[in-house]
Structure 1
């Protein structure tokens, strides 16, 4: 008998539309698999199973079940396709762990830690993981523009601390742009991180647990047509994503080793995709995503295909690893 898999998608953040696209790709692929997939939309005002006719059926939050025509349906596993809150920040992980329902993403603590850019980078620094020089601000703090520029220099990046898909991110070239960029970031989160600009080759590295082993997927080089790898570059085709990346064997070995080390230090499970920039010949970590985009055009699926792993293998392996 086929196992029931709930594919959760949507979420509470600006990334909900991307999440719906990712979730629907997973659904289409799993329809031809040995699992029975169910599309479940998670929003602040409703949790619903969406059937093939786009009818909505309320999810019982007490046990994460749904009743259809008097039949109660429970789920053997949850495939997490929610980018941002509450799928990538630990809340859904904690909920499913309390209900003892296996899920495809990392644990609650790992999700919360990696979603908080400042805390994640601070945790990894003692292990020798190189990062950009940074300055932290919380909503309501006094903003000393000269102190910020003295610490990180110009140009610099102003980022929402807990957001993805480049929402709330600005590149600041001159002091006059700084306050506006800070305001943009605070619209996404009440904490921000301001980082020095790293001028070098940018790469995206997928690390997954595949058939019981931690593997690093072929690396992708990011060449943005814009000033940086922003939303338009990521999702509207305004960038080149070159897989495998044009790295020397030494550079490839360096970033592979560090990406795997980070995955293992953090005791990760499931998918991860991290961004690095080479500065002075060494990779510097920007951030880690634990629910990366998984549309057919997204970076992680591109990397999996380059490694000889089909989308069906990628998704079903994630479910099988969770069910272990």
Structure 2
């Protein structure tokens, strides 16, 4: 039997959601096939948590000693949203230790985690993106110049954070500087994007049985101004899978999503967000460790494709072990 470490938690505002995702993964893996070890990766400690007891992880080789027996892992299932699981740090660490893991490689993780760099890399391949402006902490802020470029309303977002933390929709020039303050609380880099008025769809692309597979798309209808934290996790949105779009448009988005996944040499799970304007998909971002709770979008899409949570998670482990 293979020893599987399911890593969860992380160092960002998303750690609670990640703990839920990790719990769902543990609950859906086949215990006749795998020995499952839930591992909490938190700023203050790395610990394997079994039956309410904590066993410290040895960071030298990512092992754990339980009842005087040293346990090493054949594979790691990554369920950490945000840093250090989605930005390349854990991926690089496991690569150095030669431990297979279910997420993409460290470069792809770092690139996709940085919205600005991701969109810059994909643009030359004809993948459309919103008009944008970038700021680093300490940069001079010329409000008129920025708003002339992106227009109003616009979105002010931390460049490297997930779950919509720190994002504001700005409708007037007066709201602009406070929105920048909010975004800087999450990150020292900011991306300001023009508002795209259209249908939002979320597209899961995964490596499934050795092939790139695009899952049925989800249309997101938020009760709030945009698909923010409340909409994502507190039920303030309708997620409609499959999305109510034409077959022609669905194929167009499928081609773009698959192209982005393959250009970037992605592995494992990914979930990309697009806004459709005048029948054209504009990419907003790509997540490489999307939510894996029962309510999360990617599991809903897998379910629609006839893939159960157990099949989805076991496939990820088997793909990693190849």
For the aligned pair, the TM-score class normalised by the smaller chain equals over 0.9
Residues 48-127 of structure 1: pairs in structure 2 closer than 5 A: 48-52=47-51, 54-127=52-125
Residues 279-294 of structure 1: pairs in structure 2 closer than 5 A: 279-294=277-292
Structure 1 Cα separation of the partners of residues 112 and 84 of structure 2:
13
Greater alpha carbon shift after TM alignment, 202-211 vs 24-33: 24-33
Q: Does 1:156 align with 2:149?
A: no
Residues 226-265 of structure 1: pairs in structure 2 closer than 5 A: 226-265=224-263
Secondary structure of 1:257's match? helix
* Structure 1, gaps ≥5 residues long: none
> Which residue matches 1:317?
315
> Which residue matches 1:217?
215
1:250 to partner: Cα distance: 1.0
Secondary structure of 1:275's match? strand
Count of aligned pairs between the two proteins: 322
* Structure 2, gaps ≥5 residues long: none
Preserved CA contact (<8 Å) 1:30 1:36:
no
Deviation beyond 4 Å, 4+ runs, structure 1: none
Match of 1:187 among 181, 185, 188: 185
Secondary structure of 1:296's match? coil
Preserved CA contact (<8 Å) 1:216 1:259:
yes
Provide the TM-score with structure 1 as the length reference. Answer: 0.99
1:25 to partner: Cα distance: 0.4
Greater alpha carbon shift after TM alignment, 30-39 vs 165-174: 30-39
Structure 2 Cα separation of the partners of residues 302 and 249 of structure 1:
20
Preserved CA contact (<8 Å) 2:197 2:277:
yes
Preserved CA contact (<8 Å) 1:11 1:86:
yes
1:45 to partner: Cα distance: 1.3
Measured on the aligned residues, the alpha-carbon RMSD in Å equals: 0.6
Provide the TM-score with structure 2 as the length reference. Answer: 0.99
Preserved CA contact (<8 Å) 1:94 1:108:
yes
